Amino acid sequence: MSNQNAPESPREESLWLATTPTTDYGPLEDGLDVDVAVIGGGITGLSTAINLKEAGRTVAVLEADRIVESTTGHTTAKLTSQHGLIYDTLVSEFGEERARQYADANEVAIDEVQQRVEDGDIDCDFHRTQAYTYAASADDRETIRDEVAAAQRVGLPASYAEATPLPFDTHGAVRFDEQAEFHPRKYLLAIAEAVHGDGSHVFEETRALEVEPNSPSRIETEHGDVTADDVVVATHFPVLDRAGYFARMHPHRAYLLAVRIDETPLEGMFYSTESPPATMRTYAPDAADGADGENGGAGEDGELLLVGGQSHKPSVSGVPTSERYRRCETFAREHFTVESIEYRWSTMDYEPVDQVPFIGTIDPLASNVYVGTGFGGWGMTTGTAAGMILADLIVEGSSPWADVFDPQRLTPGASAKSFLGENAKVGGSFVGDRIKSLLAGLEQGSTADLARGDARVVRRTSQPVGLYRDENGATHAVSATCPHMGCLVRWNDAERTWDCPCHGSRFTYDGDVLSGPALEGLLYREL
22-31 per-position pLDDT tens digit: 999 999 998 8
Assess contact for 117 and 126: CB atoms under 8 A. yes
Select the highest-mean-pLDDT range: 81-95, 304-318, 319-333, 418-432: 81-95
Assess contact for 33 and 228: CB atoms under 8 A. yes
Q: Which of 61-65, 239-243, 245-249, 273-277 has the lowest mean pLDDT?
A: 239-243
Q: What confidence score (pLDDT) does residue 155 get?
A: 98
State percent of the chain over pLDDT 70.
87
Q: What confidence score (pLDDT) does residue 290 get?
A: 43
Residue bearing the bigger pLDDT, 33 or 516? 33
Residue bearing the bigger pLDDT, 356 or 512? 356
| Residues with Cβ within 8 Å of residue 513, at least 6 apart in sequence | 505, 506, 507, 519, 520, 521
Rounded average pLDDT over 207-224: 91
- Residue 472 pLDDT greater than 90, yes or no: no
- Residue 15 pLDDT greater than 90, yes or no: yes
Q: Which of 52-56, 73-77, 319-323 has the lowest mean pLDDT?
A: 319-323
What's the CA gap between 68 and 71, in Å, rounded? 8
Q: Which of 57-61, 326-330, 444-448 has the lowest mean pLDDT?
A: 444-448
Rounded average pLDDT over 32-50: 98
What's the CA gap between 476 and 384, in Å, rounded? 40
Q: Identify the three-state secondary structure at position 85.
A: coil
pLDDT digits over 345-382, tens only?
998 898 999 999 999 999 988 899 999 999 999 999 99
- Residue 245 pLDDT greater than 50, yes or no: yes
pTM for the structure as a whole: 0.85
Assess contact for 453 and 471: CB atoms under 8 A. yes
At residue 481, φ and ψ (nearest 5 deg) are -100, 120
Q: What confidence score (pLDDT) does residue 525 get?
A: 77
Q: Which of 198-202, 293-297, 315-319, 489-493 has the lowest mean pLDDT?
A: 293-297
- Residue 227 pLDDT greater than 60, yes or no: yes
Strands 249-261 and 304-312: antiparallel
CB atoms within 10 A of CB 287: 8
pLDDT digits over 158-201, tens only?
999 999 999 999 999 999 999 999 999 999 999 999 999 999 99
Residue bearing the bigger pLDDT, 74 or 520? 74
- Residue 416 pLDDT greater than 90, yes or no: no
Enumerate domains of the chain plus CATH numbers.
Answer: 412-527 (2.102.10.10)
Assess contact for 416 and 93: CB atoms under 8 A. no
Residue bearing the bigger pLDDT, 448 or 231? 231
